[in-house]
Amino acid sequence: MSSKMRKLRKSQLIDYDNAAAGHAGVLSDKSGALIVKPCKQAEINFYQSVESHPELKYYMPLYMGFLQLNQEATDAAAADLSASVPPPTGILEQRPNSAGAIPVTETWEPSNGAAIAADSGIVLENVAHGFKKPNILDVKLGARLWADDSPAAKRDKLDKVSGETTSKPLGFRIAGMKTYVGQIAEPIHHDINGYRKYDKYFGRSLKVDNVHTGFKDFFFVEGAEVPAKFARRVVKRFLEDLQGLQEVLENEETRMYSASLLFVYEGDGEQLAKNFVVEAEMLDARAKSGDRPESAESVEADNDTALDAEDEEEDEADLASSLPKIQALKMIDFAHAQFTKGQGPDENVLHGIRSITAILERIIR
């Protein structure tokens, strides 16, 4: 996170309406660069603990801090986004009670997508910010969707949803998506401002034998003038992202129940084509500028070499942030996530990632 201090007050926030799925109540700053998601303390704790897991952190939205949502919009209530990030808290564990069991909440009512009743909001980068016409897909991961402390009623409901959808057999289901289709001649009822929206019931209607069509609808969009060759290039880039994420999760010990994968890519065909060209030019210029003989002074001492490596990492980060927006893949929704030392990788989540990878490979054959 930048060392520059930035304050954010509740009065500066507006409703965020660019989500493809999830709970209501998400807010945004007026620039659209940040979102504030109402959440419980457990999610804040997880984001803080990820600070000591940089490989996983790379595949999550940038965490800026948190905001107290129940305070008045005064100077005293301002969220100091640089100071709100405490040092990493290490491994999160659910604590057994005196009987040795993890406590379970007995009362529960389904939210049905309503806003989360929470005093705090987590402040994150808006992954879709900077795209001209972002296409957004939210995929819920896991065959098991409930955490150990979930009450029986919640377990039963989520098991039923899992068993009736692709969640159980494939380890994922499409939770929602929106695609830019432009001003097509005969818009259908769910075309809004040039976007076609697919809600959670669309995803629940898909089965193992046809769920690939949902991904085809997301990547090969009628009306947006995205050539098939560009759509395939985007899919291939997501496949690389998925492979990287899979390798990270195979080397972490976590349990992330009801976490999601967020896919975002440029949905305006003309802008997408331009971004591919500009990216290639920037990377080519970078390669040429770096093709210089190494000076003797640069390797004179180990500490100089270490400094050079740090500078190179910073340069790479600066380059990545300056490249035009083409696609982004992030894990989101960590209300029921924790590090679980000694329990091995999260095969519940990995099952879904492997299934998605196989489907994306299929649709570009």
Q: What is the pLDDT of residues 228-283, one digit of tens each?
A: 999 999 999 999 999 999 999 999 999 999 999 999 999 999 999 999 999 999 99
User: 1 CB contacts (<8 Å, ≥6 apart)?
Assistant: 62, 63, 64, 81, 82, 85
Question: What pLDDT, on the 0 to 100 scale, is given for residue 50?
Answer: 97
Angle at 61 between CA 73 and CA 178, to 5 degrees: 95
Question: What pLDDT, on the 0 to 100 scale, is given for residue 79?
Answer: 44
Binned average pLDDT, 10 residues per bin, the chain of 365 residues? 49 66 72 88 95 97 84 36 36 34 41 54 92 96 96 96 98 96 67 86 97 97 84 98 98 98 96 96 88 40 49 62 94 96 98 98 96
Question: What pLDDT, on the 0 to 100 scale, is given for residue 19?
Answer: 62
Residue 112 to residues 200, 201, 204, Cα–Cα distance (Å) = 11, 12, 14
Alpha helix positions (H), the chain: 41-49, 54-57, 152-164, 167-170, 200-205, 211-219, 228-250, 269-289, 302-322, 347-363
Question: What pLDDT, on the 0 to 100 scale, is given for residue 156?
Answer: 97
The count of other CB atoms within 10 Å of the CB of residue 237 is 15
Read off the pLDDT of residues 335-352 as tens digits, 9 standing for 90 and up.
Answer: 999 999 999 999 999 999
